[in-house]
Homo-oligomer: A and B are copies of this chain.
């Protein structure tokens, strides 16, 4: 995760590990948090994998600049092309970099994801129907208020996500 985020951020140009973290905080912090303890080792791994080149700037702060290689670029693009998966909101991170992807793969993946969402919604609506009926026969309804609320939240969330993706497929304007 930290590796792909770093690669994605380095797509805009070379910078230091410190800069990468700052940019991540300003952009994708909603979905993932980076610590130096994971970032610096990740950068080293990317260098030894040939995805990045490390450049020593012999300035006073002994900072290092990282630049993405052609290989790194292609690795990143392959990750980007993979189907979206709903678990852990990883898809939002992927989406964040979707401008790099070609329109055809993009549409294909977005539509596939829409389909997954619709299945999820249908399933949740079914579960909700059952739970609602069970709840009617129970006297102490209030004892399950938060459990039921979280269920509703899930459904509402899925619906919102579905609407959001529809708008995005239509290239709608975000006034």
Contact = CB atoms under 8 A, between A and B. Distances in A.
Interface of A: 26-27, 30, 33, 87, 89, 92, 95-99, 127, 143-150, 152-154, 156-157, 160, 164, 168, 171, 174
Contacts of A30: 154
A99 B142 CA distance: 8
A110 B150 CA distance: 14
Given A156-B164, A160-B157, A96 B146 contact: yes
A143 B33 contact: no
B99 A150 contact: no
Contacts of A156: 160, 164
B164 A87 contact: no
B160 A33 contact: no
A87 B33 contact: yes
27 contacts: A26-B127, A27-B147, A30-B154, A33-B87, A89-B89, A92-B150, A92-B153, A95-B146, A95-B149, A95-B150, A96-B150, A97-B146, A98-B146, A99-B144, A99-B145, A99-B146, A99-B147, A145-B171, A146-B168, A149-B164, A149-B168, A149-B174, A152-B174, A156-B160, A156-B164, A157-B160, A160-B160
Contacts of A97: 146
A127 B164 CA distance: 20
A127 to B, nearest CB: 8
Given A145-B171, A148-B174, 14 more contacts: A27-B147, A30-B154, A89-B89, A92-B153, A95-B153, A96-B146, A96-B147, A97-B146, A99-B143, A146-B168, A149-B164, A149-B168, A152-B174, A157-B160
